[in-house]
């Protein structure tokens, strides 16, 4: 997106990069993995995985920090852990999916 040079897409690309830079790197990475994994699952298994991940957000994710920044302190400056995608350990993303066993 940052390399987009076509004038008709440049504004959209810049806005999207800005938006992504303000989101939780952990949540974005886990969501991408969820979408990729979901392509191979049944609809019922997708719902099971969503429920599994919902529990993980409270225990391991940045959900509480996002709520703090948006609703409690209202400073709108979440302190994500880690703060950037480059600093994110993929093992941390994979931990969100540990223990998930799709029903057969």
Backbone φ and ψ of 42, nearest 5°: -70, 165
Angle, helix 25-38 to helix 43-60, in steps of 10 degrees: 160
Q: Cβ(60)–Cβ(81) under 8 Å?
A: no
Residue 15 lies in a domain: yes
As for how many domains the chain has, the answer is 1
Q: Cβ(96)–Cβ(30) under 8 Å?
A: yes
Per-residue pLDDT at 98: 94
- pLDDT band at residue 103 using 50, 70 and 90 as cut-offs: confident
pTM greater than the 0.85 cutoff: no
Which residues constitute the domain of residue 89? Answer: 7-95
Residue 102 lies in a domain: no
Q: How far apart are CA 32 and CA 3, in angstroms?
A: 21
pLDDT tens for residues 39-80? 999 999 999 999 999 989 888 889 999 999 999 999 999 999
pLDDT tens for residues 20-48? 989 999 999 999 999 999 999 999 999 99
């Amino acid at each position: 997106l940052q390399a987009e040079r076509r004038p008709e897409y440049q504004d959209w690309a810049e806005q999207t990069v800005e938006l992504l830079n303000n989101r939780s790197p952990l949540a974005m990475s886990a969501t991408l993995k969820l979408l990729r994994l979901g392509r191979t699952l049944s609809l019922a298994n997708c719902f099971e995985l969503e429920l599994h991940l919902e529990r993980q957000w409270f225990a391991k994710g940045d959900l509480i920090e996002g709520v703090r920044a948006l609703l409690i302190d209202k400073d709108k400056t979440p302190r994500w852990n880690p703060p950037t995608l480059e600093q994110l350990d993929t093992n941390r993303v994979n931990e969100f999916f540990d223990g998930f066993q799709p029903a057969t």
